[in-house]
Structure 1
């Protein structure tokens, strides 16, 4: 009987001792998977619109009123802006050369100069603004003063370079005593901040 009990005990030990081997063997310690760090974000251009800038613009002008005509324009811009957080204010001077035939070629619009006040909203790399300006138009008939108003947008490509567009409406009341002249200009712009 002792022999039988010893054989049963040995068989039970063999069965239960082999159980871990049958269940997949010895267990290994759990290792927490590592997560790679997220890539560093690319720095956006500065959202600070403060400072001086200068550049150029190309556009198109359409003149109406007592004289009519249309054509391409090109010019220079220079100004200063102050960024107050979400609000941006500034002044700008620009000068456009034109060669717009007026009244079927009887006269030409030679250039337009503007001194502008700008107020805008800082959207980070974009600036949306409105503007009012004193304007002076010079033609083959002479020069006269008027005013302009409009909207524009500049976008910071880098901390130093901006691109943009501007739409202006010009009013010259009783231009050279002849009558009212209106002009619409659309300009694309490139500016360099310093």
Structure 2
């Protein structure tokens, strides 16, 4: 009886040890837990801002207002101007270079006392900054104006040559349509007005629409 009790007690103690050893050998509770490092996410690529390509030929029309002063002209000599223009722009990246010819007709009267400003022809150079859809620019060049009906008897036609400078801006409404405006300051000092005590001057402001191709 005593031997039987000792055997039973030994079996009861040995059974849990055998069970624990079996679980360890099978990769149970004693198996180490592996930690997987998180996969790093790639950094987003930087956004590169690109300007609009302004290169190409263009032509269009303009409508605006002009005021003339000097050479015997009354203080209030102004009126509408309207015309056409054509040119070419070359986009260098941030800088846009251009050349243009424009022609305006006018209904400005009483220039030089009794003359009519018939038309203005300009040859321009332009330097602009590519600001995406907008192109602000400076412009300048040479100009010729024709005045009819001047002189004491109103029977003299005059030619006035000079130069001009100004500011403008263009907006790329679509790939082929440009809208914008210009303000120009003119000074005439050659031709029939050369040597006058008060040089003929003109200021113009126009809205412009162009088709680029």
TM superposition score category, shorter chain reference: 0.7 to 0.9
Aligned to 1:83: 91
Structure 1: runs of 5 or more not aligned: 1-45
Q: CA RMSD in A?
A: 1.5
Question: Which aligned segments of 4 or more residues in structure 1 are displaced greater than 6 angstroms?
Answer: none
State whether residues 193 and 199 of structure 2, in contact with CA within 8 Å, keep that contact through their aligned partners in structure 1: no
Aligned to 1:130: 138
Aligned to 1:162: 178
Rg (Cα) greater in structure: 2
> 2: CA distance between counterparts of 1:63 and 1:181?
7
Normalized per residue, the structure richer in strand is: 1
Q: Could you tell me which of 180, 185, 194 is aligned with 2:199?
A: 180
Are 2:128 and 1:120 aligned?
Answer: yes
Are 2:59 and 1:51 aligned?
Answer: no
> 1: CA distance between counterparts of 2:111 and 2:182?
26
> 1: CA distance between counterparts of 2:112 and 2:212?
41
After superposing the two structures, state which structure 1 stretch, 97-106 or 136-145, moved more: 97-106
SS in 1 for 2:100: strand
TM-score (norm 2): 0.67
Tell me by how many angstroms 1:193 deviates. Answer: 0.2
Tell me by how many angstroms 1:104 deviates. Answer: 8.1
